[in-house]
Amino acid sequence: MCKFAHKEVKPLDLSKINIKVPITEKKGMVFYEIFVRSFYDSNGDGIGDLKGIEEKLDYIQNLGVNGIWLSPIFESPSYHGYDVTDYYRIKEELGTFEDFVNLIKEAHRRNIKVIIDFVPNHTSSMHPWFIEARKSKNNKYRDYYVWSDKNTNLTELSDIGQRAWHKSGDSFYYANFWSEMPDLNFDNKRVRKEIKEIAEFWLDKGVDGFRIDAARHIYPQNRIQDTLIWWQEFGDYVRIIKSDTYLVGEIWTSENIIGKYFKVMDSCFNFPLAEEIIKAATSGRTVNLKLIMENTYPKYGNINKNFVDAPFLTNHDMNRVMSRLKSMEKMKTAAAIYLTLPGNPFIYYGEEIGMLGEKPDEKIREPFKWYKNSGKGQTTWERLDYNIGKNSTSVEEMDNKNDSLLNFYRDMIKFRLSNDVLTKGDIKLLNTDDKTLAYLRTYESNSNLIVHNLGDSSVTLTIHLPQDIQLKGEIIKGKGDMNINNGDINLNLNRNSFIIIK
């Protein structure tokens, strides 16, 4: 029988889902996403590796982040690793278990948490499970995957609009993303057990959590309740092993669906918000950004009042933000916005130095630029097409320039993590014109007012504070002219600038 056949679904009882660690302990993070093979090469083969990341932990620590997310490190036939052939082995070119354990140890010594990219939705077609499964309908691994039956519509598209069913012998199997990445069958209890045991293995190695790839695709969208129930089961299991395990889900869809996952994940990436921040920074207009903020935060809060958002700008699947903004000034504006919003921000490697890149995927994952030209540890696995010549940007060039994008990121991240209002506080959007964005962040009895001018000219505005909010009137970050009159904040801000007042 086709495991994706229509099935009666019991509603998920959200009241029975318990987060076993106080959510405030999972706030206060800023993560740095590392595409491992592009970051730093420790052995001269041109490919970034785990030992290379360990060697550059001082850079990561100096950036100010207190968490790193590693792209898939499992054995895989591809460069990207999202088609796994062995969940218990590290891809040889990336390093050894000893390298991994040492990286974890050294990161933890610096109070940096490490989460790894976990790919449970599908395997590679070269995984031993699938090799066995396609041999015969009676093979014990057959039911690890999703196969058609006589009632299956073989012309239906997957949830991402691609061909879903692929021929193998006289049968067809389901693959949401690509024919060579067959989906696992989570109606099979043995599959569920395998995935939980894989997670346990890596937790025992010291990881602090998982970025869950394709988290919403465990079942088709008409079975979202089953997907949520699975993630509840998985979350309960891993927190028995390690109570503070951090789970952040890739739920790449609308805020309506993302919100449903805030009861079964600690965090979810805020894709709608990311898009609107970039559009606002590009256009200088804030109407749509305000609308998405007004819509998402209350919606997520109604699902889970203690939700931890995961704001970001772009990641390894998206055109790089600098290629969209084309301006260091606007880049700083976009960064200043998302680094002052609620949740745990995620920074894509190279974003902090303004690296460029547009699809295909390899070009948005180009080697990290340590040097203007070349030097020790520079990876070379992929030819540089975007970050070269007059478009080149590097740590070497930005490191000691006070006004560089790199030092802007360092300053903003460290400021954020030293401020409980920004790391743990709630948010209230304030009324301003279409060129500006203003919000209050409040934690316990303390508040910060954050105001951004996204326009290309200076602006004068007055902020009317809620009656229950009182500020000291002290500028703690950013620049601008300010005075307080009868509780109102009068401001003059330069183009593409921001100010934070306590």
Catalytic-labelled residue, pool 117, 183, 250, 351 = 250
Scanning 418-502, the segments in alpha helix (DSSP H) are 420-424
pLDDT at 226 over 60: yes
The DSSP bridge pattern shows strands 165-168 and 171-174 to be: antiparallel
Residue 420 pLDDT more than 50?
Answer: yes
| Dihedral angle over CA of 279, 282, 286, 288, nearest 10 | -20
What is the distance between the alpha carbons of residues 73 and 81, in angstroms, rounded to a whole number?
A: 7
Annotated active-site residue 183? The verdict is no
Confidence of residue 279 (pLDDT cuts 50, 70, 90): very high
Work out the pLDDT band at 15, boundaries 50, 70, 90. very low
CB-hemisphere CA count at 13 Å for 325? 28
Write down the pLDDT at residue 470. Answer: 87
Q: Binning pLDDT at 50, 70 and 90, where does residue 348 land? A: very high
**Is the predicted pLDDT of residue 17 greater than 50, yes or no?**
no
Q: Which two tokens stand for residue 136?
A: 């015969």
Given a cut of 90, is residue 22 above it in pLDDT? no
Instruction: Answer yes or no: same fold for 27-121+189-418 and 124-174.
Output: no
In angstroms, the CA 121 to CA 137 distance is: 21
Confidence bin at 5 (pLDDT 50/70/90): very low
Residue 328 is classified by DSSP as H
Please give the single-letter amino acid code of residue 79.
Answer: Y
Is the separation of the CB atoms in 379 and 387 below 8 Å? no
Q: Kindly state the greatest CA–CA separation across the chain.
A: 79
Rounded Cα distance between 180 and 256, Å, is 31
Question: Could you tell me where the beta strands, DSSP code E, fall in 178-306?
Answer: 209-212, 246-249, 267-269
Q: Where are the beta strands (DSSP E) in 257-296?
A: 267-269
Q: CB–CB of 267/285 below 8 Å?
A: no
Phi, psi angles (nearest 5°) of residue 485: -135, 110
Most confident of 5-14, 16-25, 400-409: 400-409
Least confident of 1-5, 138-142, 495-499: 1-5
- pLDDT on residue 25: 64
Q: Take residue 367 and report the two structure tokens written for it.
A: 């080697």
pLDDT at 1: 41
| pTM as predicted | 0.94
pLDDT higher than 50, residue 14? no
**205-210 mean pLDDT:** 97
CA distances from 357 to 325, 383, 484, 498 (A): 12, 12, 44, 27
Give residues with Cβ within 8 angstroms of 24, minimum separation 6: 424
User: Quick one: CA torsion of 46, 47, 48, 51, rounded to 10 degrees?
Assistant: -90
* Residue whose token pair is 């959590």: 209
- Dist CA 374 CA 187 (whole Å): 51
**Model confidence at 2: pLDDT above 80:** no
73-110 pLDDT, tens per residue? 999 999 999 999 999 999 999 999 999 999 999 999 99
- Choosing from 54, 55, 187, 213, the catalytic residue is 213
CATH numeric code, 27-121+189-418? 3.20.20.80
Q: What is the mean pLDDT of residues 432-455?
A: 97
pLDDT for residue 391: 81
Average pLDDT score, the chain: 94
> Residues 248, 212: contact at Cβ < 8 Å?
yes
Across 74-170, the runs of DSSP E, i.e. the strands, are 74-75, 86-90, 113-118, 165-168
pLDDT digits (tens, 9 = 90+) for 309-334: 999 999 999 999 999 999 999 999 99
- Residues 114 and 70: their CA atoms lie apart, in Å, by 8
213 counts as catalytic: yes
Residue 486 in this model has a pLDDT that exceeds 90: no
Burial class (CB in 10 A: 0-12, 13-18, 19+), 489: buried
Class of the CATH-defined domain 423-501 = mainly beta
Domain positions in the chain are 27-121+189-418, 124-174, 423-501
- The CATH number of 124-174 is 3.90.400.10
Q: Tell me, what amino acid is at 464? A: H
Q: Which residues pair with 32 in a beta bridge?
A: 68, 347
**pLDDT (0 to 100) of residue 12:** 45
User: 30 phi and psi, to 5 degrees?
Assistant: -130, 120
Q: What b/e readout covers 396-421, taking b as 16+ CB neighbours within 10 angstroms?
A: eebeeeeebbbebbbebbebbbebeb
Q: Which residues pair with 172 in a beta bridge?
A: 167
Q: Are strands 475-478 and 446-453 parallel, antiparallel or unpaired?
A: unpaired
Q: What is the pLDDT of residue 342?
A: 97
51-66 core/surface letters (b: 16 or more CB in 10 A; e: else):
bbbbbbbebbeebbbb
How many CB atoms within 10 Å of residue 302? 11
Of all residues in the chain, the percent with pLDDT exceeding 70 is 95
Pick the closest to residue 477 from 448, 453, 439, 455 (CA basis). 448
